[in-house]
Amino acid sequence: MTDPHATSTAQNDAQATGRIVGVNGNLVVTEFDTPIFQNETALVHCHDLRLPAEIVRIRGNRAEMQIFEDTKDLRVGDTVSFSGELLSVELGPGLLGQVFDGLQNPLYDMAETYGTFLQRGASRPALDRTQHWEFTPEVAEGEEVKAGSWLGSVPEGIFGHKLMVPFHLRGTYTVTRISPAGTYDLNTPLATLTGPKGESIEVGLYQEWPVKIPIRAYADRLRPTKPLSTKIRLIDTFFPIARGGTYCIPGPFGAGKTVIQQLTSRHADVDVVIVAACGERAGEVVETIREFPELEDPRTGRSLMERTIIICNTSSMPVAAREASVYTAVTLAEYYRQMGLNVLLLADSTSRWAQALRELSGRLEEIPGEEAFPAYLESVIAAFYERAGTIRLHSGDAGSVTIGGTVSPAGGNFEEPVTQSTLKVVGAFHGLSRQRSDARRYPAIDPLDSWSTYPGQVDREQVQAMHELLQHSNDIDQMMKVVGEEGTPLEDFVIYLKGEFLDQVYLQQDAFDPVDGATTLKRQSYVFDRLHSFLQTSMTFADKDAARSFFQKLTQATIDWNRLAMDSDDFHHQEKRLEQLVADVTDYA
């Protein structure tokens, strides 16, 4: 792989410059006289402002660049300064708890410096250079290390943030100096490494990495097989997610995509949560920023924000910023994975990102694909989700990045290109239904259309039997809409009521209840086994009214059971009551 830190030959002596010859929305065409390279970043001079940009195509002595800011007042002849570097992020302690934009500018610091309305081109370092960290070395002089090896750690929240050998190095290096335990800032070199050719490398608490190049400083890549508990029963039981796997949540606007993501980020069994608001509406992004610091982390009892990073780009921001936010988020996720942590990346919504790609492709006058999306849309989406995965580090520890993306197809049409391109690469599909959303069924995931390729912890034969019951119940429901309840046999009506019972007491959850809002895998397995036993029982009723009355009682009793703490006396008393209710209508013939 090409060294991501390499610079063009033009940067050896002087900074390369160019001049604008055309402006088309967020796309700027510039002429240059000295060598530049693809995806190099630049600064476009607009009066006294410096607007960040990235080269997306080079033809002859002209380069086309996407601008990450509003291009108002740009003129032909304005100067462009090329950086000789790829679009990169800073990786080091101090990232957790932050809110960044797509270029990793810390928005809270920006607001303090520039006020509520940020000036175009304004920027701030992502990491605080003045903050000091308590460093503890983990290697000794003379030890051999590789890219990604741990040299020491500093405390960051509840984690030990690792000082790592720079990811771009290749081969084996020897530690020739390591600083003793003490307090240091980010600018202080803490270790010196000697390479195979005798070169000397100084290593500090932070490094930079290009966002569009995956971090691959690990020993091995593993197959995702261990279930990731989200504590949402419908997901964990019927359509599980694997730790290090991928999944998508497509659905129409207002169907609950953002709500599911926020609850997943709070209750999922992961160490670090990264939220990439890559083009959602401003109101939803503001709600996320306001609510996360107020949410209590079930693991620590402290603010959930202490182990969360938010990358914030709204649908009203420049299209180039949406693309940058996706890559910035996944790079930060890979970085914490290198520390042996389990990371959950939530991208909301990738449809906005795809629309940004479509707009840029149109300005580049590329041959369009389906619905005017670029022909390479599928490969771009696949490359993003492929950065998820479970890895084994050089130390023997394992880390993972799980990626969950929401898709907002127009009109809830799952046949549109973004949804279809995503379904080809993810391991689980949680399709939201407008009908279930309108019926106030939470979560609004359609249990008949969704699927997962990952193994779960609940007995699969029982899950298959209950899924068939839901399908049979739905078929009977559709039939009753034609022939009416009076034209439906009692046997079929009971099957319909069983399916409705399972939907109401297990597929739906009360997100506001402290117990029912988050169900552990242990409880899911136990409760699902009992419900499977109830629903497999042959029941006898005098008529449909008697059947309806029984299932109403059973439904309410089971909902009450869901709200009782497991292993409590009340829990077991309520379970016995359910068993008695079922025994009263059991056909023992």
Residue spans of alpha helices (H) in 442-517 = 460-483, 490-502
Check the annotation: does 252 bind a ligand. yes
Supply φ then ψ for residue 571, to 5 degrees.
-60, -50
Q: Token pair for residue 385? A: 């989700």
Give the span between the Cα atoms of 574 and 561, in whole angstroms.
Answer: 6
Name the 3-class secondary structure at 424.
coil
What whole-number distance in Å separates Cα of residue 384 and Cα of residue 378?
10
347 neighbors 265 (Cβ within 8 angstroms):
no
Ligand-binding annotation for 162, yes or no, is: no
Tell whether 253 is in a known binding site.
Answer: yes
3-state secondary structure of 430: coil
- Using the 8-state DSSP alphabet, how is residue 304 labeled? G
- The answer to the question of whether 97 is labelled as a binding residue is no
Closest CA to 414 of 428, 426, 427, 432: 432
Token pair of 133, please? 């960290």
How many alpha carbons lie under 13 Å from residue 322 in its C-beta half-sphere? 26
Nearest in space to 266 (alpha carbons), one of 300, 297, 301 = 297
Which tokens hold the place of 585? 């209508």
251 has binding-site annotation: yes
Is 115 one of the annotated binding-site residues?
no
SS3 assignment, position 380: helix
Q: How far apart are CA 499 and CA 470, in angstroms?
A: 5
List Cβ<8 Å contacts ≥24 apart for 46-52.
Answer: 46/73, 46/74, 46/78, 46/120, 46/121, 47/73, 49/119, 49/120, 49/121, 50/81, 50/121, 51/120, 51/121, 52/103, 52/121, 52/123
Strands 173-178 and 159-164: unpaired
Q: Which residues 6+ apart lie within 8 Å of 387 measured at CB?
A: 214, 330, 333, 334, 401, 403
State how far the Cα of 162 lies from the Cα of 141, in Å rounded to an integer.
Answer: 17
| Residue whose structure tokens are 């009692």 | 490
206, amino acid identity: Y
The 3-state secondary structure of 532-547 reads HHHHCCCECCCCHHHH
Beta-bridged to residue 395, according to DSSP, are none
Structure-token pair, residue 558 = 């089971």
Q: Determine if residue 79 is labeled as part of a ligand binding site.
A: no
Please tell me what DSSP assigns to residue 253. T
3-state secondary structure of 118: coil
Q: Is 489 annotated as a binding residue?
A: no
Helices 569-585 and 521-535: crossing angle in degrees, nearest 10, is: 20
Question: Which residue type does 150 have?
Answer: W
Pick the closest to residue 395 from 153, 121, 199, 209 (CA basis). 153
What span, in angstroms and rounded, lies between the C-alpha atoms of 416 and 373? 10
Alpha-helical regions (H) of 292-367: 319-337, 350-363
Q: Which residues are annotated as a binding site for ATP?
A: 251-258
Q: Which residues are annotated as a binding site?
A: 251-258
